[in-house]
Amino acid sequence: MPQYQTWEEFSRAAEKLYLADPMKARVVLKYRHSDGSLCIKVTDDLVPFLSQDDLSDKLLMWKPLSQALLSGELRRKDQNRALGNEDQRDS
**69 or 48: which leads in pLDDT:** 48
Does residue 90 sit within a domain?
no
Instruction: Note the pLDDT of residue 85.
Output: 61
Residue 32 lies in a domain: yes
Q: Is residue 43 part of a domain?
A: yes
pTM of the model: 0.60
Q: What's the pLDDT at 78? A: 65
Question: How does pLDDT run across 34-67, given as a tens digit for each residue?
Answer: 887 788 888 888 888 888 777 666 667 777 777 7
How many domains does the chain fold into? Answer: 1
72-86 mean pLDDT: 66
**Residue 1: inside a domain:** no
Determine the pLDDT at residue 86. Answer: 53
Structural domain of residue 41, as residue ranges?
7-79
CB atoms within 10 A of CB 82: 9
Taking each helix axis from N to C end, the angle separating 7-20 and 55-83, rounded to the nearest 10 degrees, works out to 20
